């Protein structure tokens, strides 16, 4: 059988003058070397136990050399009496005279020669003083009795069969056979079955101490050299390498060859070995391994003790499942184990289960308090964490648990506005850390002071304390603590350096995954989302944001900055329903609703300012919210004062985004608008936010009356609408228009004279429903009876006609605007039908469908302008048609029409653009509309591969297979990554 890997290894080794091929029985040493030598210029000398005389070995050596050098003399007998050195000198001299190209001399079973024999000295002399063109290959199953000098080695690792080679020999699954045999040729040739006789023969040839060592390692599965020493095997540093060369073990984390281990494990009593191994593992910082050993021998008493001592380290190492599995089998009745159970559940993400376990743990001591309090804080229930702390019974002796509790409590009290108590607890934490000592204790203490500095915006102390905390955690070897502190530091950096925060989080995520720790990832992604909002990377932010209150505000901020008030308000309403007092929620909501309801916006902004001042947190965004709402309300004095306060506070804290927004707010109330907006542009640029920069430039351009299309296009390219009236620089600087604008894509809104129609103007929901129905018909007349049936489907009385007339009067008032001509009527109503006059009403759905139809027609006739028209149509589609009406049939029909046209536009764009990254963007949107579009899935995978984004391609390919499986469709391209790639994906 052709064995290219082994052949290559022998060829590489043969570049040396001496090669030693060493392995135990059954590894095919002789067979493999013979197959290799047969295709090389080689000669063969076999040694047997009868070759104990120099004369016999000399004759055999000469006969072997004459296989390739027939001109050598036939006899050297007369010289043997003079010793091995003389024979070696003579042979070397003859070879110098006759060799004109390299020659390989294979000596099989060279290990049979005794170390004190003339024969061994002859081979040693040939190895050390042979001519340059002579290569010696020494094949042995034992250690050589002589020193061959510098030599290359081929061992069991190179002689083992590969999976491909096994496939050529047996019919069974080659991967399974490889796992079962370790590639041991003799075991493979036996069909992958149990080579019991061979194993017995191999073990019988080993000394008793070697068999005991192998038995212990087989029992444990694997063992380091240090663990073997701890088990009482004193000379393993010499014995293990020899066993490895014979193919019985592999290292450096030693494990026994599987067929041998299987035999050894049958009659091994492993409890004593396992317990000793557990003691060693716990002592050397591997408590999860210790747990595995104790569970294997069902020593539940020792398992309980280990979990009470080391549960935090085991869970932190990513082995929460192992802890829970052990607890399921535990028969020890100890209430403290509820703490262990809760901690494991908490790090598995089962917060309710963890809370239930903690509640059964008995008295609220420091360990229970910090674990349970941390859980409350993560769930946004900081007040409950504070209450729990107040009920905690402290021990007389300082401990790491006490230091940790005090450090966490600093944050809880600071977040709830109890600043002096938080400072007092930080001092207590420092004192407890001094009494407790240890790097971990000082890391928690430094973290407490860093947190206070971060809340107060004191940048130098913040950097110093958090730097010390990270360094101490690293020295303590506590990876979870290091990850926690670095993630928290990044959350403060969002305000002062969002790009640095993103870089920090990326490092933390990689570090955590390498360490097998994933419990922190949700918090990390939330921090990265907030930082990406500050950098104008809205899509990245939405991908990372989760469902906690802070993440809901992050999503809302993305939609606010994109000019999508409906979607922003939906997330903020959800955040308001959650527990907590984060002033960002009312502050952001105030800016969102200000365009429609200034009175409510002012109430929300005042509440945000009051809360932020009490908490001394979130003051800049609260002041900015109140100031921008004041601008829309015409209250220039409040706006000017809030701009000045926010500007000073943001500057002191190093908050560039807050400073830029404060400059824009100041510009809205100042005669020096151009200079302030120009300064805001520079600050946005320094902050790394291109969206903020473009918005400030657009606002400045609107002031001067120059062409604004450049900046509007730049913002639209990033998905930002520039004509939405909200409390920000774009909303207050947008030019007013006398036309009526009805928006139905991405949320329903009516703008009159450039401003949203106040809620009070509608008088009833039915008036809004009437306009929505007319919008769905896009200017086509709707019969009055049809309107009646749609608006009052269950009312058969005669009053519906009068009700419709009242609604028409209300809607006519809503759609009236001072800028319209006297005879202009946006709402057209006669005796029989009602419709909208689209020459007076800008209806976004009609504009999109007209643009889409024109673009698709140009595409069908291969018009060169098709790409530009399609791109314009794509920009007009900003969301689903009346998404808030998911079940109304008249809305469903129009929605499906819009969705179909938009899908066609995206499909045409994919065909026309050549940039794979652009194709990816269009295809992702197609799949958002229809996740079961098979052609889009396939094209997306191919586009990602063409763009060099191979990891995303593989993930998207997995999604494709899963989506097809969901609907019972056999994929048309089930093998985009080759057979092996598909198997990997299916296994994953």
Beta bridge partners of 743: 749
> Which two tokens mark 178?
């490889």
Measured CA to CA, the distance from residue 358 to residue 369 in angstroms comes to 9
The whole-model pTM stands at 0.56
For residues 861 and 812, the answer to whether their CB atoms sit within 8 Å is: no
- Model pLDDT, residue 115: 65
Cα of first residue to Cα of last residue in the chain, in angstroms, is 34
Question: Which residue has tokens 């000793």?
Answer: 276
pLDDT along the chain (988 residues), means of 10: 84 85 87 90 85 80 90 65 82 88 92 81 90 91 86 88 86 83 82 65 83 89 90 87 82 83 76 92 90 92 92 82 90 83 82 84 85 83 90 88 95 91 96 93 96 92 95 89 92 93 94 76 92 94 89 93 90 85 90 88 94 91 95 88 95 93 93 91 94 93 82 87 87 68 90 80 87 91 91 80 88 77 77 87 89 88 86 87 87 90 90 83 83 83 81 82 83 66 42
28: left (phi over 0), alpha (psi -120 to 50) or beta: left
CA–CA separation, 866 vs 912, rounded Å?
9
Lookup: tokens for 59 = 């004759």
Where residue 939 falls (left for φ over 0; alpha for ψ -120 to 50; beta otherwise) is alpha
Extract the runs of DSSP E, i.e. beta strands, from 690-809. Answer: 740-743, 749-752, 755-756, 782-783
Q: What is the pLDDT of residue 572?
A: 92
Take residue 196 and report the two structure tokens written for it: 């019991």
- How many other CB atoms are there within 10 angstroms of residue 497's CB atom? 20
The tally of CA atoms less than 13 A away on the side-chain side of residue 377 is 22
Look-up of token digits 């050399």: 65
């Amino acid at each position: 059988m052709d064995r290219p890997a082994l052949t290559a290894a022998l060829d590489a080794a043969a570049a040396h003058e001496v090669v030693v091929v060493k392995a135990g029985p059954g590894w095919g040493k002789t067979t493999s070397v013979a197959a290799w030598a047969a295709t090389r210029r080689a000669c063969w000398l076999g040694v047997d136990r009868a070759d104990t005389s120099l004369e016999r070995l000399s004759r055999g050596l000469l006969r072997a050399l004459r296989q390739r050098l027939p001109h050598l003399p036939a006899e050297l007998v007369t010289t043997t009496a003079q010793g091995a050195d003389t024979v070696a000198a003579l042979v070397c001299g003859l070879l110098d005279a006759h060799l004109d190209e390299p020659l390989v001399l294979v000596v099989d079973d060279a290990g049979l020669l005794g170390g004190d024999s003339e024969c061994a000295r002859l081979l040693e002399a040939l190895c050390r003083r042979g001519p340059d063109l002579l290569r010696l290959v020494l094949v042995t199953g034992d250690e050589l009795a002589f020193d061959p000098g510098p030599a290359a080695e081929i061992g069991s690792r190179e002689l083992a069969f590969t999976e491909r080679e096994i496939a050529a020999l047996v019919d069974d699954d080659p991967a399974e056979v490889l796992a079962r045999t370790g590639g041991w040729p003799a075991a493979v040739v036996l069909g992958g079955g149990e080579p019991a006789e061979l194993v017995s023969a191999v073990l019988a040839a080993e000394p008793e101490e070697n068999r005991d060592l192998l038995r212990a390692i087989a029992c444990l599965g694997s063992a380091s050299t240090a663990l073997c020493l701890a088990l009482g095997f004193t000379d393993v540093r010499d014995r293990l390498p020899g066993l490895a060369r014979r193919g019985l073990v592999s290292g450096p984390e030693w494990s026994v060859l599987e067929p041998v281990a299987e035999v050894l494990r049958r009659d091994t009593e492993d409890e004593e070995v396992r317990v000793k191994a557990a003691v060693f593992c716990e002592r050397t910082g591997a408590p999860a391994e210790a747990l595995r050993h104790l569970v294997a021998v069902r020593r539940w008493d020792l398992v309980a003790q280990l979990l009470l001592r080391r549960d935090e380290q085991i869970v932190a190492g990513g082995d929460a499942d192992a802890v829970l599995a052990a607890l399921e089998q535990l028969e020890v009745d100890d209430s403290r184990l509820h703490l262990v159970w809760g901690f494991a559940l908490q790090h598995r993400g089962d917060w309710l289960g963890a809370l239930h376990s903690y509640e059964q743990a008995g008295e609220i001591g420091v360990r229970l308090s910090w674990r349970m309090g941390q859980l409350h804080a993560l769930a946004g229930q900081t007040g409950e964490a504070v209450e729990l702390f107040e009920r905690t019974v402290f021990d007389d002796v300082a401990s790491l648990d006490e230091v940790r509790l005090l450090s966490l409590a600093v944050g809880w009290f600071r977040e709830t506005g109890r600043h002096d108590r938080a400072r007092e607890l930080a001092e207590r934490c420092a004192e407890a850390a001094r009494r407790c000592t240890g790097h971990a204790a000082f890391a928690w203490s430094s973290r407490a002071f860093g947190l206070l500095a971060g809340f107060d915006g004191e940048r130098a102390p913040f950097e110093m304390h958090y730097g010390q905390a990270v360094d101490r955690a690293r020295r303590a070897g506590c990876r979870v603590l290091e990850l926690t502190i670095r993630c928290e530091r990044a959350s403060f950096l969002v305000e002062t350096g969002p790009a640095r925060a993103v870089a920090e989080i990326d490092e933390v995520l990689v570090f955590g995954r390498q360490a097998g720790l994933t419990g922190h990832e949700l918090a990390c992604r939330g921090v990265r989302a907030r930082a990406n909002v500050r950098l104008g990377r809205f899509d990245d932010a939405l991908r990372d944001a989760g469902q906690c209150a802070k993440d809901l505000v992050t999503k809302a901020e993305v939609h606010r900055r994109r000019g999508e008030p409906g979607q922003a308000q939906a997330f903020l309403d959800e955040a308001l329903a959650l527990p907590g007092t984060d002033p960002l929620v009312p502050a952001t909501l105030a800016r969102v609703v200000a365009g429609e309801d200034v009175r409510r916006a002012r109430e929300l902004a005042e509440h945000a300012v009051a809360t932020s001042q009490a908490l001394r947190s979130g003051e800049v965004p609260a002041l900015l919210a109140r100031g921008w709402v004041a601008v829309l309300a015409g209250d220039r004095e409040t706006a000017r004062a809030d701009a000045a306060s926010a500007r000073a506070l943001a500057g002191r804290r190093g908050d560039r985004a807050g400073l830029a927004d404060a400059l824009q707010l100041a510009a809205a109330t100042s005669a020096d608008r151009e200079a302030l907006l120009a300064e805001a542009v520079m600050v946005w640029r320094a902050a790394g936010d291109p969206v903020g920069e473009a918005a400030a430039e657009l606002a400045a351009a609107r002031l001067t009356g120059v062409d604004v299309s450049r900046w509007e296009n730049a913002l639209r390219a990033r998905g930002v609408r520039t004509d939405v009236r909200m409390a920000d620089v774009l909303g207050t600087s947008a030019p007013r228009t006398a036309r009526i604008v009805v928006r139905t894509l991405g949320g329903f809104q009516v703008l009159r004279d450039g401003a949203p129609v106040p809620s009070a103007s509608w008088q009833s929901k039915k008036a809004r429903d009437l306009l929505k129905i007319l919008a769905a018909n896009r200017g086509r007349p709707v019969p009055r009876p049809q309107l009646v049936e749609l608006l009052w489907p269950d009312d058969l009385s005669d009053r519906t006609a009068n009700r419709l007339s009242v609604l028409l009067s209300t809607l006519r008032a809503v759609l009236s605007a001072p800028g319209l001509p006297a005879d202009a009527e946006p709402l057209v109503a006669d005796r029989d039908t009602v419709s909208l006059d689209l020459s007076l009403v800008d209806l976004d759905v009609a504009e999109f469908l007209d643009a889409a139809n024109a673009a698709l027609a140009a595409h069908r006739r291969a018009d060169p302008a098709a790409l530009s028209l399609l791109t314009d149509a794509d920009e007009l589609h900003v969301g689903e048609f009346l998404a808030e009406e998911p079940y109304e049939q008249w809305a469903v029909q129009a929605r499906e029409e819009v969705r179909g046209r938009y899908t066609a536009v995206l499909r045409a764009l994919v065909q026309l653009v050549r940039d794979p990254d652009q194709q990816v963007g269009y295809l992702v949107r197609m799949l958002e509309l229809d996740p079961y579009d098979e052609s889009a899935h396939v094209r997306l995978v191919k586009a990602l591969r063409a763009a060099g984004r191979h990891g995303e391609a593989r993930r998207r390919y997995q999604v494709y297979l899963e989506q097809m499986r969901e609907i019972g469709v056999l994929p048309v391209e089930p093998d985009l990554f080759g057979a092996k790639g598909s198997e990997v994906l299916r296994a994953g």
